[in-house]
């Protein structure tokens, strides 16, 4: 690769980050990609053959020298590195704060010193927390309910402050429930889609906390990558956080039904008690997103689940040899 935009991706060995790297490698306007990841929850395995195409720096965003080198000369920084789990943050709030809030500050400092590349960072719908309004709009007051949500609120607020104080071009994006290929199951903090697909492929029942009527605005990772790639090439800036979801509302029971269809056999559902801190309904108001990205072509749920199931089937087959 030569010429073109230089992009640094933190958390590029994770689920969303590794998908984004694949997208950016296919984008003609992008010339050089640097990835920073400490592989605490991600793995270079997720990058597959793409690993050879990028400048991979193994280390933490908390390392100021490493970040200085990784961001020098960049046109854009996509900051995805984080400890991305509510229950993990409840267990160890300081670790989440360091990685997510202080880590973001470190990325912004590196960007400021590097002359001000565009900084796009992942925030989360969890910042809305106990905010009762539906759908969730960016002007609704965030009422975070977990240390993770607070760390994400701090992160997006730091982006706004760096824009106000130093004129740094920024774009904080509130991801909702992102799903897709390369999102792993088999660990304590697995998200619902990979956990359920993995359970079904291994003949286990899936667990629904509560009655299953709770709803989620499920967003395919390809939609997220499309938006971020457009933001980099079109230099889209917003000091104000932007919801990255399309305003869809899928109940867990509906998700189980569609997944059963895609898998070719109904899921075996077991209900357990509701999980403390769980948000009942989560749905984005996508107006601001559609305003900034009028050409976004979201992947619909069934198609996204088909791609996800295909990835899990492939992985399961390889594990079984
Ligand atoms: P992930 O765990 O797969 O990816 C996070 C990556 O960051 C991992 O590769 C991990 O090793 C790396 N990392 C963690 N701490 C680091 C540090 N201190 N320095 C360098 N690298 C570090 O998670 P993901 O689902 O791909 O999430 C990506 C981002 O999107 C995170 O910021 C997360 O909070 C946010 N987000 C995700 C979702 C979702 O549904 N997946 C929803 C809302 C927000």
Any atom of ligand 1 within 6 Å of the Cβ of 214: no
- 186 domain-assigned: no
Q: Of 96, 39, 296, 301, nearest to 180 (Cα)?
A: 301
CA of residue 210 to ligand 1 center, whole Å:
27
Residues 111, 225, single domain; the answer is yes
For a mutational test of ligand 1's pocket, the pick from 19, 23, 63, 80, i.e. the residue with the most ligand atoms closer than 8 A to its C-beta, is 80
pLDDT at 12 over 70: yes
201 and 146 part of one domain: no
Indicate if 204 and 93 belong to the same structural domain. no
Residue nearest to atom 41 of ligand 1 (CA): 178
pLDDT tier, 163 (very low <50, low <70, confident <90, very high otherwise)? very high
Q: Does 224 share its domain with 272?
A: no
**Strand pairing class (250-251; 215-216):** antiparallel
What is the domain extent for residue 115? 5-179+219-246+286-298
Round to whole Å and give the CA distance between 11 and 13: 5
187 falls within a domain: no
Note whether residue 233 is domain-resident. yes
Whole-number pLDDT of residue 188: 63
pLDDT-derived band at 31, boundaries 50, 70, 90: very high
3-state percent breakdown (helix, strand, coil) of the chain, nearest 5? 45, 20, 35
* Residues ≥6 apart with Cβ < 8 Å to 296: 223, 226, 227, 230, 289, 290
Q: Going by CA atoms, what residue is nearest to atom 21 of ligand 1?
A: 37
pLDDT in tens, 234-292: 999 999 999 999 999 999 999 999 999 999 999 999 999 887 667 788 999 999 999 99
Task: Convert the pLDDT of each residue in 182-240 to its tens digit.
Answer: 999 877 667 899 999 999 999 999 999 889 999 999 999 999 999 999 999 999 999 99
- Say whether both 61 and 204 belong to one domain: no
In DSSP terms, 36 is beta-bridged to 10, 57
In this structure, the answer to whether residues 256 and 141 fall within a common structural domain is: no
Question: Rounded to the nearest whole angstrom, what is the distance from the C-alpha of residue 37 to the centroid of ligand 1?
Answer: 10
CA of 42 to the centre of ligand 1 (A): 8
- Ligand 1 centroid – CA 264 distance (Å): 31
- With pLDDT > 70 as the criterion, what percentage of the chain qualifies? 98
pTM of the model: 0.97
Mean pLDDT score of the chain, rounded to an integer? Answer: 95
With a 6 Å cutoff on the Cβ, whether 62 touches ligand 1 is yes
Per-residue pLDDT of 83-142, as tens digits, reads: 998 889 999 999 999 999 999 999 999 999 999 999 999 999 999 999 999 999 999 999
Task: Kindly give the distance from the C-alpha atom of residue 266 to the centroid of ligand 1, in angstroms, as a whole number.
Answer: 31
List Cβ neighbours of 81 (8 Å cut-off, separation of 6 or more): 10, 11, 14, 17, 36, 37, 38, 60, 61, 99, 103, 107
- Give the atom of ligand 1 at the shortest distance from the alpha carbon of 221: 41
Q: Are residues 205 and 129 in the same domain?
A: no
- The whole-number average pLDDT for the span 135-153 is 96
* Mean pLDDT value of segment 72-88: 95
> Does the beta carbon of 124 sit less than 6 angstroms from any atom of ligand 1?
yes
Identify whether residues 77 and 165 lie together within a single domain.
Answer: yes
Residue 85 Cβ inside 6 Å of ligand 1? The answer reads no
Does residue 107 share a domain with residue 43?
yes
User: Is pLDDT at 1 greater than 60 in this prediction?
Assistant: no
Same domain, 32 and 123: yes
Q: How far is the CA of 73 from the centre of ligand 1 (A)?
A: 24
pLDDT computed for residue 2 by the predictor: 52
Judge whether residue 39 has pLDDT over 50: yes
- The total number of structural domains that make up the chain: 2
Ligand 1 atom closest to residue 126's alpha carbon, by position in its atom list: 43
CA of 44 to the centre of ligand 1 (A): 14
Q: How large a percentage of the chain has pLDDT more than 90?
A: 89
Res 189: pLDDT: 63
């Amino acid at each position: 690769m030569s010429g073109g935009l230089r992009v640094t991706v933190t958390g590029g060995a994770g689920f969303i980050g590794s998908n984004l790297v694949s997208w950016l490698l296919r984008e003609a306007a992008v010339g050089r990609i640097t990835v920073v990841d400490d592989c605490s929850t991600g793995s270079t395995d997720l990058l597959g053959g793409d690993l050879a195409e990028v400048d991979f720096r193994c280390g933490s965003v908390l390392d100021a020298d490493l970040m200085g080198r990784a961001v020098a000369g960049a046109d854009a920084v996509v900051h995805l590195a984080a400890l991305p789990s509510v229950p993990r943050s409840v267990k160890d709030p300081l670790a989440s704060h360091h990685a997510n809030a202080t880590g973001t500050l470190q990325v912004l400092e590196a960007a400021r010193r590097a002359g001000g590349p565009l900084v796009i960072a992942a925030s989360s719908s969890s910042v809305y927390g106990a905010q009762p309004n539906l759908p969730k709009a960016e002007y609704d007051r965030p009422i975070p309910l977990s240390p993770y949500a607070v760390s994400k609120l701090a992160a997006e607020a730091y982006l706004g402050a760096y824009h106000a104080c130093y004129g740094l071009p920024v774009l904080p994006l509130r991801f909702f429930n992102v799903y897709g290929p390369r999102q792993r199951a088999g660990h304590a903090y697995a998200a619902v889609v990979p956990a359920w697909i993995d359970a079904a492929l291994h003949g286990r029942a899936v667990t629904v906390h509560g009655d299953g009527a709770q709803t989620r605005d499920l967003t395919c990772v390809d939609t997220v990558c499309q938006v971020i790639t457009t933001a980099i090439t079109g230099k889209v800036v917003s000091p104000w956080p932007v919801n990255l979801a399309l305003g869809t509302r899928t109940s867990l029971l509906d998700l189980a039904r569609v997944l059963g269809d895609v898998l070719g056999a109904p899921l075996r559902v077991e209900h357990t008690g509701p999980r403390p801190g769980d948000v009942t309904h989560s749905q984005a108001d996508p107006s601001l997103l559609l305003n900034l990205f009028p050409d976004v072509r979201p992947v619909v749920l069934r198609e996204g689940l088909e791609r996800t199931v295909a990835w899990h089937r492939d992985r399961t087959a390889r594990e079984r040899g």
